[in-house]
Amino acid sequence: MNTGVISETTKIRERIVRLAELLYLRGYAHGTTGNISVRTEGGIIVTPTNSSMGLLDPARLSFVRADGTHVSGDKPSKETFLHIAMYEERATSNAVVHLHSTHSVAISILAETDPANALPPLTAYHHMKVGRLPLVPYVRPGDMRLADEVRQRAGTYHAMLLANHGPVVAGKSLEDALAIAEELEETAKLRLLTEGRPVNALTAAQLAELDHHFPS
């Protein structure tokens, strides 16, 4: 047995637990909402269903094959199919974070939210980390049609907002995915804090300058 692989898997599990706890402590994952996964060579490590992101046990994290077949650990999140849809369309993504974070969900339920881009480019960092954020039409949680909606957009967008539900983001690494999710939530908060007031969103020229200096 390759002890190096075992050691690396253990490290991944410990990082998932640590970073999930940070999201919980920041108020981005309340109750038993939210889930995190990391793609490994043999399959996907994902947080279990009905588990608190602040009380995870590394040894009890779920392990599933790429097709979602449960191999070991506790029963996987019932939203694992969202993660699989992202991985299937994004070969360079190795981690997915799905949250029900309050401000992002608030944006997802506002009637005036633009379905083509749910958040305006209020800051340079939002544009660089999140970019254009499509709003996925509402589908009942657990319905596989939601995976189809995510899959249709995942090849183009690494972050999206599920209507009346919350954000799903993919990153090259777990840390990358968390940074994107946090930037998205903070921009949603800024959007709500400035509701009803004129704002100076970044212009097309400013966005083009960012793209030139910080290509994705």
Closest CA to 26 of 195, 181, 132: 181
Distance separating alpha carbons of residues 115 and 163, to the nearest angstrom: 9
What is the residue whose two structure tokens read 């694992």?
Answer: 80
The question of whether 125 is a catalytic residue gets the answer yes
Given the residues 8, 14, 89, 125, the one annotated as active site: 125
What is the residue whose two structure tokens read 């958040």?
Answer: 119
Distance separating alpha carbons of residues 6 and 127, to the nearest angstrom: 37
Distance separating alpha carbons of residues 195 and 197, to the nearest angstrom: 6
Length of the chain: 216
Three-point CA angle 191, 194, 199, nearest 5° = 90
The question of whether 79 is a catalytic residue gets the answer yes
Closest CA to 168 of 69, 81, 56, 92: 81
Given the residues 79, 89, 182, 183, the one annotated as active site: 79
34 burial via Cβ count (<10 Å: 0-12, 13-18, 19+): buried
Taking residue 142's Cβ as centre, other Cβ atoms within 10 Å add up to 9
Is the CB of residue 62 less than 8 Å from the CB of residue 122? no
Instruction: Indicate which residues carry an active-site annotation.
Output: 79, 125
